Amino acid sequence: MGSITAHVIADWSYDPVRKLLPLALTGLLAVSACQFVGAGGDDGAAAEAHRLNDMKSLPLHAYLPDAGSEEAKTTGTAQWILARQCMVRLGFTGFRTLDLRTVDATYPVRQGTLTGESKVGDDSPYGLDDPDLAAEHGYHNRGREETGSQPMEWPADQYTALTGTFESGESHRAHGNPIPEQGCMGEAMRKIYGPAPEPAKIGGIRLTGYYSLAANLWYQARKEAVEDPAWKKADRAWSECMKKKGLHYPDPDEASTDRDWFGTDQPSDKEKKTATADVRCKLDTGWVQAVQAAESRAQKSVIARHTKALEERRAADRRAVTAARKIVDAAS
């Protein structure tokens, strides 16, 4: 899934319902889907845990776009073609020569806002599963691998025109022209996809975009899954395993989001020790297998309750891809 086709705005504070909306999903919807790399152990149980520790192993993944697909790339290119036309209309004449190859898989970022991103966490639904990576990197796994196109930074006036996102006191006009709702990028998406669905509110997180339904259902399913007796039993077994190693956490999420790991570029020895124990206990207790089974059951349940809406969204996606192809062909 490209970040363009599934742009989601997420507003949250530190540690946003981490247990209920995995970094894998927020990352997927807000920027792009990154695949967790590494295989822990050689035995069958470790290999199975690694296979299951992937968003693709869960039923709702079928309703999320594929970042690497030609359809996603086409839609991203079409959005930038329309956004470029809009920016020229607003008076940014330099956009006439904008090379779309540099931006068609990215969403704009305001200049000066790329620094300071935490590297703690990973993009798998159940956290670390490789003891070797844990021993070397602790929980500092974000940004460890190159994941594709990087967001481009734009000057404030261009950023506001592209996104319709304003800071206090900034004008809602560009060169005397009114900036469309959600900027030129939002206008382009509406031309491709039609009107955006209602935002989904998940705890302290507000998600907007064409895949907010899938995000909301993922959240609902995770909320149900963590209350499943099988999940709770798996947490207890994992926690008991950790206690034997002198570490006291109720579940893997609490270990991975310990505040001691944040604010540093490199993991401490304590972090690496904890992360390694975390993975070993997951593998020894079958934690990933147990919770993935519980979450799969919960996702199947929410899909059954919302099949009509999900299929309508899927049909709308197909229509959007057709529209995007026509836009790209016309610009060729």
The CA–CA distances, whole Å, from 175 to 22, 133, 182 equal 41, 51, 17
Residue 213 is encoded by which pair of tokens?
A: 């339904």
**Measured distance CA(311)–CA(285) in Å, rounded:** 37
CB of 26 closer than 8 Å to CB of 216: no
Q: Which residues pair with 178 in a beta bridge?
A: 173
CB of 26 closer than 8 Å to CB of 218: no
Angle value at C-alpha 91, between 88 and 93, nearest 5 degrees? 55
**Measured distance CA(163)–CA(72) in Å, rounded:** 20
pLDDT digit string, tens, across residues 295-304: 999 999 999 9
pTM over 0.95: no
> What confidence score (pLDDT) does residue 208 get?
64
300 φ, ψ (degrees, to nearest 5): -60, -35
The CA–CA distances, whole Å, from 49 to 8, 128, 254 equal 29, 10, 20
Percentage of the chain surpassing pLDDT 90? Answer: 61
Element (H, E) at 321: helix 307-331
CB of 109 closer than 8 Å to CB of 130: no
pLDDT digit string, tens, across residues 53-78: 999 999 999 998 777 789 988 999 99
> What mean pLDDT do residues 227-245 have?
98
pLDDT digit string, tens, across residues 89-145: 999 999 999 998 888 667 888 988 755 555 676 778 999 999 999 999 999 976 545
> What confidence score (pLDDT) does residue 38 get?
34
> What confidence score (pLDDT) does residue 40 get?
38
Q: Which residues pair with 109 in a beta bridge?
A: 153
Strands 153-154, 109-110: pairing is: parallel
Give me the sign of the Cα torsion angle 94, 98, 104, 105: negative
The CA–CA distances, whole Å, from 165 to 28, 158, 195, 227 equal 21, 11, 18, 38
CB of 284 closer than 8 Å to CB of 210: no
Q: How many other CB atoms are there within 10 angstroms of residue 304's CB atom?
A: 9
